[in-house]
Homo-oligomer: A and B are copies of this chain.
Amino acid sequence: MNVDSAGLDVLSRQECLDLISSATIGRIVFTDRALPAVQPVTFYLDGEDIVIRTGTGSKLAAATRHTVVAFEVDEFDVPTRTGWSVTAVGRAHAVSDPGQIDRLSRLPLTAWAPGERNHFIVVRAEQVSGRRIRR
């Protein structure tokens, strides 16, 4: 196992993808009016694509159009001070092809917020990195 300069275990790409796949909620990191922004989202890992379902007119839909974003998942246990985090960085795009929208609509992915949620953002997990902290 590789260890980084901070003493944390460095996870492989496959371990990172498996951990992303195990999570229900992630955080999408983007720029909103020149300021750093972050928003929790439900998602589904479709191969190496992170699929996010949102409303057409949402701030997230507007801010992530054709831009590079980060996507983070983590899980920590405070009593034992252990846990892991994984970050994927890649280009985001809005899905416009009706056939692809139809396919993504059938994924086991439900937005928690009420209202129409038929806009899909896909983030390709181009760069993936992850760390695990053990006692």
Contact = CB atoms under 8 A, between A and B. Distances in A.
A45 B8 CA distance: 25
Contacts of A113: 6-8, 133
B35 A27 contact: no
Given A8-B113, A81-B112, A113-B8, A29 B24 contact: no
A11 interface: no
B55 A6 contact: yes
Interface string A55-78: 101100000000011101010101
Most chain B CB within 10 A, of A40, A57, A58, A113, is at A40
| Oligomer copy total | 2
B6 A87 contact: no
Q: How large is the interface on A (under 10, 10 to 19, 20 to 34, 35 or more residues)?
A: 35 or more
A25 interface: yes
Interface string A1-37: 0000111100000000000000011010111000111
Contact of A29 (B7, B29, B55, B133): B29
Given A38-B38, A68-B36, A87-B38, A25 B114 contact: no
